[in-house]
Amino acid sequence: MYPGSPTSLVRGPGEQEMRGVTVEVGRAMADRLQLRADIVVFERVAEVIDALKQGRVDMTITNATPARATEVDFTPALIGLELGLLVPAGSTLSTVEAMDQTGLRIGVSQGSSSQAALGARLKAAHLVPAPSLNAAANLLRTGQIDAFATNKGILFELADQVPGSRVLSGRWGLESLALAIPKGRTQAREWVQNFAREAAASGLVSRAAERAGLRGTVSP
């Protein structure tokens, strides 16, 4: 997991209280298998994907892009999330469609699917990779970026940390979040696929999303 995203890991009122879709679905998966759930925390999602590829962790929930599907195995989508922009107080940027401007600095999580997608799409704006979501919030607060781009679940969470910032209406894309496991786990694949479908159908995923305060969801 990585901190700062309701889809992965956020802290509750108590420092030891963990919430997030990956937290709850992962623990439920371990309970079903009668195993202990070990929470392994990384700074950003790219490090989580690397750990999956190397077999150092067994599952996560993340954006199921075609590029990532060549590296890890995905279940059907559990959640759909809008991709948007967070702008600081006083920003003149009012629409996501206007983000591709010369001189505009758009922050993204380093190694994220947003960085890959916008890197291929934007022609004039400059991308600024942030090593963590805490770093992204600091870049916005200190005026080192003009906007931050990712899914709205993360953006609304960041907005609470950056006074005066706002999530723009509209979207520049969609994420399909799915349960991911390392490649090569052929005996586990069917069980994991069935578990993911049951987790969505039973309301486990939606309840976890609500408890984590996930916003910006759409039908997957």
Going by pLDDT thresholds of 50, 70 and 90, the confidence category of residue 33 is very high
CB atoms within 10 A of CB 120: 8
User: Shortest CA distance to 139 belongs to which of 176, 103, 106, 179?
Assistant: 106
pTM: 0.87
pLDDT confidence of residue 16: 64
Per-domain boundaries in the chain: 10-80+175-218, 82-173
Query: CA 136, CA 172: separation in Å to the nearest integer?
Result: 19
pLDDT confidence of residue 13: 65
Query: What are the phi and psi torsion angles at 174 (to 5°)?
Result: -135, 145
pLDDT confidence of residue 11: 84
User: What is the average per-residue pLDDT within 8-21?
Assistant: 81
Query: CA 63, CA 6: separation in Å to the nearest integer?
Result: 13
Same CATH topology for 10-80+175-218 and 82-173: the answer is yes
CATH architecture of 10-80+175-218: 3-Layer(aba) Sandwich (3.40)
- Is the CATH number 3.30.70.380 carried by domain 82-173? no
User: What is the average per-residue pLDDT within 195-204?
Assistant: 97
Say whether pLDDT at 15 is over 70: no
